Structure 1
């Protein structure tokens, strides 16, 4: 099939998460987050990509490639893997690993802190401020550039901070700040 009829693009910056890092800043992350990305990159380069390349080579040797599902799917998967490898490589190049345990001001909220706060409904919420690539809001890990993290940064236990939401201004009361031990 002619490439003019295919809607796939191979743009360099087509990963939506790539735009999340503010211009000129490092990709702050914890050591655990760095290791997870590094492990994924290593797996893609050493295991997954070679496996797909061998399937594509085998499928190409079977002759007609225009209706060869293994070949077509393999090439598409190879593009996805290469795109992810480029993305991970870029992210790791600009990564700045932060060890929250070495934070000198443990009485304030900074990167890597786990914060227990009370929202205006009286519910206690526990969040850990982590890197963009480590964020998992459903499991209490929020990005350091998220609105909640920005509102909590530099707050101390007992402080009341304001968070602007689509529903209006909310007040959060910092109950506890926890940093990991070394």
Structure 2
């Protein structure tokens, strides 16, 4: 019985680290170039980010080869910054933009980079294990209207429902 429960738990957790049907993570991924700070330009909202503006993510390399993830956002209701620290590891090898990230012990979720500015690593489109998760990340707190339109076009083409898309205010990060 214990083996059965362990197997069911493993299958359930594995489902959260997959890739949405029909999508492919980027290849030729360069961890060193991806490290550093990224600003959240747009997202599909979830409880863990609800009410947050000025969201950014900082990625740095841990000694064991995993990646430290520090997500930071401003909670307008309480008037202060919130931060979550996690750990990411590659699922398919370091040259594929498919990682699993954990902020809560042994529980991982997918982090799938499905579009990346290969020349400058200036923007990335990221999803989770299904199309309920979507982020547009940029190295700068602002992007052009053309960049936002390209993101929306690609997201629609990939089957994302953008009806609940949030454009993330970055007014506090512009001053940093």
Same fold (TM over 0.5): no
Higher relative contact order (CA 8 A, sep 6+): 2
TM superposition score normalised by structure 2: 0.27
More strand per residue: 2
